[in-house]
């Protein structure tokens, strides 16, 4: 892969991530502003029309303002550019903000529980029908629903934990406002107990949400393994890349709204250094392109010392290990495929050369058909230039052997390390 092209992709993705964080900041700021206006409205109406329930809900909205401010500050810090002091960026500031959100939600739950317990045994009276407190509660429900939907949509789009947490709290605000509305009506109708019992139930649910949010943030800060399904998916995708012979040591760290992936990919031992870097670049670019919430990928390339290797040999006949090598790679009538390892030589299958009757580029067509098969080794007497480079570029080790040798003799020499790898083709395209 072109290294310059790869760097351009990474640069573009960095800009996209900054734009995502700025989008999160905008919705957090809008949420804070709307909730502030809503809290002031409920406080004003509650004090003016003597509605303690609405006043309590205004204090609850005040706590929501602190939650949204925590989210806003976290996203603001996370969008800062990387520096010498913080080479990995400040993405985890968003996780810390999420931890604070969880603690605040839990505090709100405890506070509401106390208020609900108190209201089980004490009822407020109303002089007239509370039309303005009811109207304020309806407005509160509508605003909470708008913010919840907006925050959840943007939180999912940019992978923001803080926005998703505040979205959950906003959804609870809908029910809180609804039950406050019901409580106001019940107080007016002088129905006992119901208001307090409902508030206690909501308080328990909010407390559970706060504890879960805080605990998840703690696990992220401690680099806990929380992405098992993603690890399996990444391993499957990396193994599909031509030249990758295995994937191990996949580790995923969460850093605010993004993830950092570390892993080891295995490849053929004879692969030269620049090709190893190219293979790593291909793997990194694939993950960065397919997963928007992956911020960076660190891949270490190691030679694979496989127990089982797959070899292919052009042969003149189908006589098992007694088959004789065909002198020309592309003109061989058959190809024998072998599995080597554990002291065994197993014949996998025979492939008939279906390109013999075609004119021109026979070797190239044969080589192309081999790429889709997981071949590690090729033993030939002669091979053309295009076929040679195509196979080498697809991580196939090619060894030079003498004409007319039998398959069993070729494998014996290979296992004894008496065969030299081919470093260049020995047929011109015209000869082939």
- The pLDDT of residue 313: 93
Residue 248 is assigned to a structural domain of this protein: yes
CATH at residue 259:
3.30.70.1350
CATH at residue 391:
3.30.420.130
Residue 274 is assigned to a structural domain of this protein: yes
Tens digits of per-residue pLDDT, 224-233? 888 888 899 9
Higher per-residue confidence, 53 vs 117: 117
For tokens 């670019």, the residue is: 285
Task: Give the model's confidence band at 335: pLDDT under 50 very low, under 70 low, under 90 confident, else very high.
Answer: very high
The count of other CB atoms within 10 Å of the CB of residue 429 is 14
- The pLDDT of residue 198: 67
Position 373 pLDDT exceeds 80 = no
Position 196 pLDDT exceeds 70 = yes
Residue 28 is assigned to a structural domain of this protein: yes
Residue 426 is assigned to a structural domain of this protein: no
CATH at residue 155:
1.20.1510.10
Residue 424 is assigned to a structural domain of this protein: no
Percent of the chain with pLDDT over 70: 83
Position 369 pLDDT exceeds 80 = yes
Residues 319 and 411 in one domain: yes
Could you tell me which of 343, 324, 341 has the C-alpha nearest to residue 381?
324
Tens digits of per-residue pLDDT, 153-164? 777 776 666 667
- The pLDDT of residue 312: 93
Residue 420 is assigned to a structural domain of this protein: no
- The pLDDT of residue 1: 33
- In the chain, how many H helices and how many E strands? 11, 8
Residues 147 and 212 in one domain: yes
- The pLDDT of residue 25: 66
Task: Give the model's confidence band at 431: pLDDT under 50 very low, under 70 low, under 90 confident, else very high.
Answer: very low
Residues 289 and 324 in one domain: no
| Average pLDDT rounded to a whole number, residues 51-60 | 73
- The pLDDT of residue 5: 30
Position 389 pLDDT exceeds 80 = yes
Which phi-psi region, left, alpha or beta, contains residue 373 (left: φ > 0; alpha: ψ -120 to 50)?
A: beta
Residue 421 is assigned to a structural domain of this protein: no
Distances (CA, A) of 343 to 9, 107, 222, 377: 46, 66, 46, 17
* pTM value surpassing 0.75: no
Residues 18 and 124 in one domain: yes
Residues 261 and 396 in one domain: no
Quote the number of domains for the chain.
3
| Average pLDDT rounded to a whole number, residues 65-89 | 72
DSSP three-state, residue 374: coil
Q: Considering 303, 318, 334, which residue would you say is the last residue of a domain?
A: 303
- The pLDDT of residue 238: 92
Residues 16 and 144 in one domain: yes
- The pLDDT of residue 283: 92
| Average pLDDT rounded to a whole number, residues 213-220 | 87
Residue 74 is assigned to a structural domain of this protein: yes
Residues 105 and 124 in one domain: yes
Task: Give the model's confidence band at 48: pLDDT under 50 very low, under 70 low, under 90 confident, else very high.
Answer: confident
How is residue 402 written in tokens? 């003498």
DSSP three-state, residue 324: strand
Cα 425 to Cα 349: distance, rounded to the nearest angstrom: 26
Higher per-residue confidence, 130 vs 11: 130
Residues 92 and 174 in one domain: yes
Question: 364: number of CA atoms within 13 Å, CB side?
Answer: 10
Task: Count how many residues are written for the chain.
Answer: 432
Task: Give the model's confidence band at 124: pLDDT under 50 very low, under 70 low, under 90 confident, else very high.
Answer: low
Q: Considering 202, 221, 240, which residue would you say is the last residue of a domain?
A: 221
Q: Considering 206, 221, 236, which residue would you say is the last residue of a domain?
A: 221
- The pLDDT of residue 2: 34
Task: Give the model's confidence band at 68: pLDDT under 50 very low, under 70 low, under 90 confident, else very high.
Answer: low
Position 14 pLDDT exceeds 70 = no
Residues 320 and 277 in one domain: no
Return the minimum-mean-pLDDT range out of 42-46, 81-85, 408-412: 81-85
Return the minimum-mean-pLDDT range out of 69-83, 189-203, 391-405: 69-83
Strand extents, DSSP E, 166-257: 246-255
Distances (CA, A) of 335 to 34, 70, 342, 381: 73, 66, 23, 13
Higher per-residue confidence, 202 vs 365: 365
- The pLDDT of residue 67: 65
Residues 197 and 235 in one domain: no
Task: Provide the Cα torsion 205, 211, 217, 222; round to 10°.
Answer: -150
Say if CB 134 and CB 62 are below 8 A apart.
no
Name the residue range of residue 22's domain.
3-221
Position 8 pLDDT exceeds 60 = no
Residues 84 and 213 in one domain: yes
Higher per-residue confidence, 56 vs 109: 109
Residues 165 and 237 in one domain: no
Position 77 pLDDT exceeds 50 = yes
DSSP three-state, residue 46: helix
Tens digits of per-residue pLDDT, 263-318? 999 887 767 788 888 889 999 999 988 887 788 899 999 887 666 788 999 999 99
């Amino acid at each position: 892969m072109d290294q310059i092209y790869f760097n351009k992709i990474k640069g573009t993705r960095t800009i996209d991530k900054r734009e995502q964080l700025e989008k999160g900041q905008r919705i957090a700021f809008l949420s804070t502003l709307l909730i502030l206006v809503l809290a002031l409205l409920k406080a004003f109406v509650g004090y003016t029309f003597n509605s303690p329930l609405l006043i309590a809900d205004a204090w609850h909205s005040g706590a929501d303002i602190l939650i949204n401010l925590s989210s806003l500050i976290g996203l603001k810090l996370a969008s800062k550019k990387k520096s010498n002091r913080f080479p990995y960026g400040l993405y985890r500031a968003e996780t810390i903000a999420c931890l604070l959100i969880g603690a605040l939600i839990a505090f709100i739950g405890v506070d509401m529980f106390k208020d609900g317990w108190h209201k089980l045994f004490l009822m407020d009276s109303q002089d007239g029908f509370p039309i303005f407190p009811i109207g304020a509660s309806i407005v509160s429900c509508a605003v909470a629903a708008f913010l919840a939907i907006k925050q959840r949509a943007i939180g999912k789009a940019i992978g923001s934990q803080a926005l998703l947490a505040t979205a959950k709290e906003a959804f609870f605000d809908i029910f809180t406002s609804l039950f406050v509305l019901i409580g106001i009506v019940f107080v007016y109708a002088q129905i006992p107990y119901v208001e307090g019992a409902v508030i206690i139930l909501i308080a328990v649910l909010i407390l559970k949400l706060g504890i879960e949010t805080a605990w998840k943030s703690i696990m992220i800060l401690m680099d806990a393994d929380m992405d098992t399904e993603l690890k399996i998916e990444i391993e499957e995708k990396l193994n599909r890349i031509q030249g990758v012979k295995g994937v191990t040591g996949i580790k995923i760290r969460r850093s605010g709204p993004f993830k950092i992936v570390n892993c080891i990919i295995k490849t053929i031992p004879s692969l030269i250094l620049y090709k190893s870097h190219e293979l790593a670049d291909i793997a990194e670019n694939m993950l960065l392109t397919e997963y928007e919430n992956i911020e960076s990928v660190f891949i270490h390339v190691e030679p694979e010392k496989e127990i089982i290797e797959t070899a292919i040999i052009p042969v003149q006949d189908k006589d098992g290990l007694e088959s004789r090598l065909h002198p020309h790679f592309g003109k061989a009538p058959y190809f024998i495929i072998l599995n080597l390892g554990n002291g065994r030589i197993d014949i996998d299958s025979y492939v008939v050369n279906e390109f013999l009757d075609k004119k021109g580029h026979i070797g190239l067509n044969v080589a192309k058909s081999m790429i889709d098969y997981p071949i590690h080794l090729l033993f030939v007497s002669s091979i053309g230039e295009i076929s040679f480079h195509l196979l080498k570029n697809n991580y196939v080790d090619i060894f030079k052997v003498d004409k007319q040798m039998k398959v069993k003799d070729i494998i014996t020499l290979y296992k004894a390390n008496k065969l030299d790898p081919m470093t260049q083709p020995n047929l011109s395209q015209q000869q082939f």
